[in-house]
Amino acid sequence: MGHARRLQAALAPHQPGQVPLEVLSGGHTWRVWRASIGPALAFMFRYLQPPLMESQSSR
């Protein structure tokens, strides 16, 4: 089992139905990255919080 599939299997019990795995043909070429980086970042940013400002982190 590849690294991505192991990570998905480990996360799935904690985030049911929220851990998609998309396997793209073409290897690690710039063509594949260019086609997939936008959707991948959009997916990640849905779950990230903005950084804390220095004044907020000292609370």
- Region for 17 from its dihedrals, namely left if φ exceeds 0, alpha if ψ lies in -120 to 50, beta otherwise: left
Please state the domain extents for the chain. Answer: 7-47
Evaluate whether 13 touches 6 at the Cβ level (below 8 Å): no
What's the pLDDT at 10? 93
Which helix (H) or strand (E) is 19 found in, with range? none
Token output for 21: 């795995």
Residue position matching structure tokens 């982190």: 57
pTM given for the model: 0.54
Q: How far apart are CA 54 and CA 52, in angstroms?
A: 6
Q: Give the pLDDT confidence of 15-35 residue by residue, as tens digits.
A: 888 888 888 888 888 988 898
